[in-house]
Chains A and B, each alone.
Chain A
Amino acid sequence: MKQDLIGVVGEDNVLDDQASLGSYGRDESFVLPIKPRFVVRPGSEDEVQALVVWANETLRPLVPVSSGGPHFYGDTVPSVPGAVMVDLSRLNKIRRIDRRNRIVVIEPGVTYAQLQPELAKEGMRVTPPLFPRANKSVVASLLERQPTLIPRYNYALPEPLRNCGVIWGDGQKFFTGESGHGPLDLEQQWAAGLRQVDPKGPAQTDFFRLLTGAQGTLGIVIWASVKCELLADPKKTLFVPADTLDDLVDLSYRLTRLRVGDELFLVNSSYLATLVAGDAAEIPALKEALPPWTLVIGVGGRALLPEERMAVAEKDITAEVAARGLRLLGAAPGLATTRVEAVLDGLAGEPHWKLRYKGGVQDIFFHTTLENAPGFLSTMMSTAQAHTYPTGDVGVYLQPQHQGVSYHCEFSLPYDPTDAHETANLKALFSKAGERLIGQGAYFSRPYGEWADLVYNRDAQSTAALRAVKSILDPNNVLNPSKLCF
């Protein structure tokens, strides 16, 4: 087997030392650690395709991964023994930057650290999720449907992901979206003036939608086109403090409805403190100093008349905030603005900010409409209490998505993974909270780890439909088997 793999990717790109296997075989989540048999690092689309073809011939499971660690949700940990990790980090070319059409075409190994500075040269960026790590793959983030920061640009949840080149589980190469109309060669498409903008199709299937949220179970993406936003300049960050989440609900609805402002999210003091802290020691004091809740909103100017644009946005936001008896501040109380800006504009270093407080974290996240978020919060807190988890440690992050129609609601639970008792307790809390939240109507649209069973058991028809899709795209079930419902 090793020789087969060496034949595809070269000896330097096949790893089977215990350290490497160990690092790919577990992550921060509670999924059962299972080491892969090999790690391979293909350097081209053809090598990726050859690997998948080989996997079909030998019925070896492949688990694709593009980002460096830490990984949090178990999607890149093999769920079966004997897997081959397909580490796509060597496919790291930025294939094309197109300012006029604001489209960048990248390979899966391209990270935010690599991409954003290059795009900045053209006055653009890819709308990021909240404080991604530098080694996070942009394509992976988008395929995971990680929520991005600017609700008004989130025309659909997969935004800004547009077209993909993919090797399906059966080994064939395919282009999604408008690129699917061909020719099946990006250079030829560019020469013909085609720009991989529209994500829909081809035909009557949104193939790219089958790839999002799939945790690498249906295909391995080898390139993606991504819509860019113009960099805002000038820009500033504003803060609306509040005592309770309920105090901010109406304002958040209104601001997203008006599509005013850029970045917009709601965080509690625990989450915000963890986000901006330099180290663990800072966090308790920051939590105390920060308001219990903050709505963070960025304003910026782009294209023509940027200063005026920012000023008008700020004016309109001010009016909305004032109308609700809230305060709009240029800085979060107890926090230097630059720290927040560093988060909004920058990339997380190491150790990962989520891990700084106690060394470990479990996130519970799902989709909801905003009005239901306080109810879910209540459930989370009562479940935490029931498991003697300090509720003051529960971080809450609400990210409006789809221009405000739905929200990513995230509960972040830091803990000390070296403490066996604490870990066991958190595991129980994690499972219980997930169960209760799902039962309450939280929609786990990204069903990682143990949520998969809960989610797919709730929706028999979707499960059947997805299994039909899987049987077509990966008939031999070589891609990340035993994930999701396959």
Chain B
Amino acid sequence: MALPQEAYQALEDIVGAENVSNDAAVLDSYAFQWLADLVRPNLSHYMPRPVAVVMPGSTEEVQAIVRLANKYKVKVKPHGTGWYHWAAPIYDDRDSLQLDMRRMNKIEIDEKNGIAIVEPYVIHAQMHAEAIKRGWSCTIIGAGCSCSVIAAACAYSGIGPGTFWMGGQAENVLGMEWVAPNGEIVRSGSLGSGDGWFCSEGPGPSVRGIMRGSLGARGGLGVYTKCAVKLVHWPGSTDWPVQGTIPAYRLPLDETFRAYTLAVPSWEAWADAYYKIYDNEIGYIFHRQFNLAGADLAPTFWLMYNDHTKTLGDVPDMIKQPGMAELTEEMRISFQLVMAGRSVADIELQDKVLDRILEEVGGWKVERYCEKDMAEFTNIYLNRLGHKHINFVWVGGYIGSWMQPGTPDWVKEYVPTAIAGLERDAKDGLLVQCGGDAMMGTGGAYPGGGVMGLEQFVSYDPNDEASTRAGIKHMEDAVTDAASIGYPPGKEALYLEMGHSDDRTFKKWANAKQPFAFIFQRKIKEHFDPNDLGDRMYNYIPEEYEPAKKA
């Protein structure tokens, strides 16, 4: 597979020779992906290699590249920071360009209206920092601040710890600029009318409705080149006065901030607590975050992490220290809540309300984690979300399973099965044994709360075949376990899907409860992508897979 020389030359003409490469080693730095080993033949860490990687510097260059791709019938796969195996090409037998959007990295902040306008390589950390300087803040997606804002808003999920109060990027996104695979530039809402970035809806029916739904196209249908998202008020210090020693930095709590770890005695109480938090509208960042290290180990792990003289190897000793067993049990069903009052009176009221909620559900503040050091760590951790590579801390491999989204009442029903499943799958030591409950999840996957999910953090060694195979088996088991209690597959199904053939995947979608969603998307694809430059990351079913229409 190779790009015709004249096509390669044309790419050089568009972006400059220094911004395109077809060198094997360079291409492999794009083909290599986390999660590839779970879905590729022979546990390969490489997704299919692109025929070239090209880095456009402007929307015009993107459009020119797409037009070229139409001419040469080469697929186009864009990515932001490229952290997920679906960022790479997915077909071994079809030529694909990889668009690394790195050079498009500008940001503009409309301070008055609280809007950030970004290009694809602006990451949440940058947007957050620029917002904080101006007294604003922003939601940061669960995968952390290293990730592209546009990828979250336009191309994938957009949900994170801040979603409850700050919105997810799906709710926050305003104008979007999309270079469709047919080379046309479609702009949503007010942007399309040339009126600015501020309104994502309309005109009439919202064009953005075809740009993303529960998820975005994950690079499978065109290239997003700009978008705007709304910011949120930041009642804290605009200096961002970080303290502490690497790795565990701390952010002192401003007068109107609180950072708590809360715990409850049962999963029923957990659901009740969440509903009460929703009804009472307290909280700025609401997440069950620290449990990602596994309920058996997490309380010790985070204390270890906050001591820069310690390493992972200290956990086994630390966990045996006096008080640690009790702390572990105390935190068994716990979650984090950062509160930010707009005034002293407001935060004091939020505190009172929280105390009443805890009283009503029989919950408590975990004292050790609410002490100054851990509270300041929680404050910076959740506000900046710059430690999300800790998902991989144990040994570099992380699978997210479960996380079926629903109401807290609905989610709590799958908890016991998820816990039992991980305990079972980790029993032989081929996965990290951190307890059956390694579930992490946002307090609200939609602003105001109401839906959320819990994701098991399953750690395997990507450098060990047996461990990798155990990871794959866990994902398959999770699908089966969920089905056994009448629940749909979770996040692991999205990962596994990457290793399935088109045929298998199309058949699965054809068997969905509403195959029309995928038929609709095929027709949208036919309109915008007549030469099939995209891929099935934008889900669709070809006509021959459509279920027979009912008489």
Q: Do chains A and B touch in the complex (CB under 8 A)?
A: yes
Hey, which chain A residues are within 8 Å of B112, CB to CB?
253, 369, 371
CB distance from A364 to the nearest CB of B (A): 15
Q: Does A182 have its Cβ within 8 Å of any Cβ on chain B?
A: yes
**Number of residues from B at the complex interface, CB < 8 A:** 84
CB distance from B289 to the nearest CB of A (A): 21
Hey, which chain B residues are within 8 Å of A257, CB to CB?
114, 233
The answer for the CA separation of A237 and B312 in the assembled complex, in Å, is: 57
Hey, which chain B residues are within 8 Å of A175, CB to CB?
514
Q: Does B246 have its Cβ within 8 Å of any Cβ on chain A?
A: no
Contact assessment for A209 and B538 in the assembled complex, using a CB-CB cutoff below 8 Å? no
CB distance from A483 to the nearest CB of B (A): 9
Interface-side segment among B15-23, B73-81, B211-219, B498-506: B211-219
The answer for the CA separation of A76 and B210 in the assembled complex, in Å, is: 25
Q: Restricting to A443-460, which residues have a CB under 8 Å from any CB of B?
A: 443-447, 452, 455-456, 458-459
Q: Does B520 have its Cβ within 8 Å of any Cβ on chain A?
A: yes
The answer for the CA separation of A444 and B195 in the assembled complex, in Å, is: 10
- The proximity string for A residues 347-374 relative to B, scoring 1 for CB distances below 8 Å and 0 otherwise, is 0000000000000000000011111000
Contact assessment for A227 and B207 in the assembled complex, using a CB-CB cutoff below 8 Å? no
Q: Does A195 have its Cβ within 8 Å of any Cβ on chain B?
A: yes
Q: Restricting to B190-230, which residues have a CB under 8 Å from any CB of A?
A: 190, 192-196, 198-210, 212-217, 230
The answer for the CA separation of A182 and B525 in the assembled complex, in Å, is: 24
The answer for the CA separation of A209 and B200 in the assembled complex, in Å, is: 10
The answer for the CA separation of A319 and B171 in the assembled complex, in Å, is: 30
List the B residue with the shortest CB-CB distance to A183: B513
Q: Does B309 have its Cβ within 8 Å of any Cβ on chain A?
A: no
Hey, which chain A residues are within 8 Å of B524, CB to CB?
205, 468-469, 472
List the B residue with the shortest CB-CB distance to A215: B204
Interface-side segment among B60-68, B120-128, B404-412, B431-439: B404-412
Contact assessment for A259 and B195 in the assembled complex, using a CB-CB cutoff below 8 Å? no
The answer for the CA separation of A345 and B208 in the assembled complex, in Å, is: 33
List the A residue with the shortest CB-CB distance to B155: A204
Hey, which chain B residues are within 8 Å of A258, CB to CB?
233, 342
Q: Does B44 have its Cβ within 8 Å of any Cβ on chain A?
A: no
CB distance from B194 to the nearest CB of A (A): 6
Hey, which chain A residues are within 8 Å of B551, CB to CB?
none
Q: Does A67 have its Cβ within 8 Å of any Cβ on chain B?
A: no
Most-contacted residue by chain A among B195, B405, B520 (CB, 10 A): B195
Contact assessment for B352 and A308 in the assembled complex, using a CB-CB cutoff below 8 Å? yes
Contact assessment for B357 and A207 in the assembled complex, using a CB-CB cutoff below 8 Å? no
List the A residue with the shortest CB-CB distance to B188: A462
Hey, which chain A residues are within 8 Å of B212, CB to CB?
204-206
Hey, which chain B residues are within 8 Å of A464, CB to CB?
184
Known: A100-B409, A305-B349, A369-B198. A461 touches B216 (CB 8 A): no
Q: Does B516 have its Cβ within 8 Å of any Cβ on chain A?
A: yes
| Complex partner residue of A445 from B167, B190, B520, CB under 8 angstroms | B190
CB distance from B186 to the nearest CB of A (A): 4
- The proximity string for A residues 260-278 relative to B, scoring 1 for CB distances below 8 Å and 0 otherwise, is 1000000000000000000
**Number of residues from A at the complex interface, CB < 8 A:** 96
The answer for the CA separation of A153 and B409 in the assembled complex, in Å, is: 23
Contact assessment for A178 and B203 in the assembled complex, using a CB-CB cutoff below 8 Å? no
Contact assessment for B171 and A155 in the assembled complex, using a CB-CB cutoff below 8 Å? yes
Contact assessment for A202 and B213 in the assembled complex, using a CB-CB cutoff below 8 Å? yes
| Complex partner residue of B209 from A172, A192, A205, A316, CB under 8 angstroms | A205
Hey, which chain B residues are within 8 Å of A312, CB to CB?
343, 345-346, 349
Contact assessment for A209 and B345 in the assembled complex, using a CB-CB cutoff below 8 Å? no
Contact assessment for B195 and A441 in the assembled complex, using a CB-CB cutoff below 8 Å? yes
List the B residue with the shortest CB-CB distance to A203: B517
Q: Does B386 have its Cβ within 8 Å of any Cβ on chain A?
A: no
Interface-side segment among A16-24, A77-85, A397-405: A397-405
Known: A184-B514, A193-B413, A404-B114. A158 touches B201 (CB 8 A): yes
Contact assessment for A302 and B190 in the assembled complex, using a CB-CB cutoff below 8 Å? no
Contact assessment for A443 and B195 in the assembled complex, using a CB-CB cutoff below 8 Å? yes
Contact assessment for A200 and B214 in the assembled complex, using a CB-CB cutoff below 8 Å? yes
Q: Restricting to B334-357, which residues have a CB under 8 Å from any CB of A?
A: 342-343, 345-346, 349, 352-353, 356-357
Contact assessment for B518 and A157 in the assembled complex, using a CB-CB cutoff below 8 Å? no
| Complex partner residue of B516 from A172, A199, A204, A206, CB under 8 angstroms | A172
Hey, which chain B residues are within 8 Å of A253, CB to CB?
112-113
Hey, which chain A residues are within 8 Å of B215, CB to CB?
201, 203-204
Contact assessment for B349 and A156 in the assembled complex, using a CB-CB cutoff below 8 Å? no
Hey, which chain A residues are within 8 Å of B495, CB to CB?
none
Q: Restricting to B224-253, which residues have a CB under 8 Å from any CB of A?
A: 230, 233
Hey, which chain B residues are within 8 Å of A28, CB to CB?
none
Contact assessment for B113 and A371 in the assembled complex, using a CB-CB cutoff below 8 Å? yes
Hey, which chain B residues are within 8 Å of A326, CB to CB?
none
- The proximity string for A residues 78-119 relative to B, scoring 1 for CB distances below 8 Å and 0 otherwise, is 000000000000000000000011110000000000000000
Q: Does A420 have its Cβ within 8 Å of any Cβ on chain B?
A: no
Hey, which chain B residues are within 8 Å of A211, CB to CB?
205
Known: A194-B410, A403-B230. A181 touches B513 (CB 8 A): yes
Q: Does A198 have its Cβ within 8 Å of any Cβ on chain B?
A: yes
The answer for the CA separation of A102 and B215 in the assembled complex, in Å, is: 24
Contact assessment for A468 and B527 in the assembled complex, using a CB-CB cutoff below 8 Å? yes
The answer for the CA separation of A31 and B352 in the assembled complex, in Å, is: 56
Contact assessment for A101 and B185 in the assembled complex, using a CB-CB cutoff below 8 Å? no
The answer for the CA separation of A198 and B410 in the assembled complex, in Å, is: 13
CB distance from B489 to the nearest CB of A (A): 11
Most-contacted residue by chain A among B112, B171, B539 (CB, 10 A): B171
Q: Does A218 have its Cβ within 8 Å of any Cβ on chain B?
A: yes
List the A residue with the shortest CB-CB distance to B174: A405
Contact assessment for A197 and B192 in the assembled complex, using a CB-CB cutoff below 8 Å? no
Q: Does A406 have its Cβ within 8 Å of any Cβ on chain B?
A: yes
Q: Does A212 have its Cβ within 8 Å of any Cβ on chain B?
A: yes
Contact assessment for A316 and B198 in the assembled complex, using a CB-CB cutoff below 8 Å? no
CB distance from B49 to the nearest CB of A (A): 26
The answer for the CA separation of A405 and B514 in the assembled complex, in Å, is: 35
Q: Does B319 have its Cβ within 8 Å of any Cβ on chain A?
A: no
Hey, which chain A residues are within 8 Å of B171, CB to CB?
155-156
Q: Restricting to A301-326, which residues have a CB under 8 Å from any CB of B?
A: 302-305, 308-309, 312, 315-316, 319
Contact assessment for A203 and B204 in the assembled complex, using a CB-CB cutoff below 8 Å? no
Contact assessment for A206 and B349 in the assembled complex, using a CB-CB cutoff below 8 Å? no
Hey, which chain B residues are within 8 Å of A444, CB to CB?
193, 202-203
Hey, which chain A residues are within 8 Å of B209, CB to CB?
205-210, 469
Contact assessment for A197 and B407 in the assembled complex, using a CB-CB cutoff below 8 Å? yes
Contact assessment for A455 and B204 in the assembled complex, using a CB-CB cutoff below 8 Å? yes
Hey, which chain B residues are within 8 Å of A157, CB to CB?
199-201
Contact assessment for A198 and B517 in the assembled complex, using a CB-CB cutoff below 8 Å? no
The answer for the CA separation of A456 and B521 in the assembled complex, in Å, is: 23
Contact assessment for A180 and B345 in the assembled complex, using a CB-CB cutoff below 8 Å? no
The answer for the CA separation of A178 and B453 in the assembled complex, in Å, is: 13
Q: Does A30 have its Cβ within 8 Å of any Cβ on chain B?
A: no
Interface-side segment among B262-270, B441-449, B471-479: B441-449
A residues neighboring B (CB under 8 Å): 100-103, 145, 153, 155-158, 172, 174-175, 178, 180-184, 192-195, 197-215, 217-218, 227, 230, 253, 257-260, 302-305, 308-309, 312, 315-316, 319, 367-371, 402-406, 438, 441-447, 452, 455-456, 458-459, 461-462, 464-466, 468-469, 471-473, 484-485
**Selected A-B contacts with CB under 8 Å, 17 pairs:** A201-B213, A203-B539, A212-B206, A214-B205, A303-B281, A308-B352, A312-B349, A316-B343, A316-B346, A367-B190, A369-B198, A402-B230, A405-B199, A447-B204, A468-B523, A473-B520, A484-B205
Given pairs A208-B209, A308-B352, A443-B193, 8 additional interface contacts (CB within 8 A): A158-B201, A198-B405, A203-B518, A206-B206, A367-B199, A444-B203, A461-B186, A462-B203
4 nearest A-B pairs in the assembled complex, by CB-CB distance:
A182-B513, A201-B214, A209-B209, A445-B202
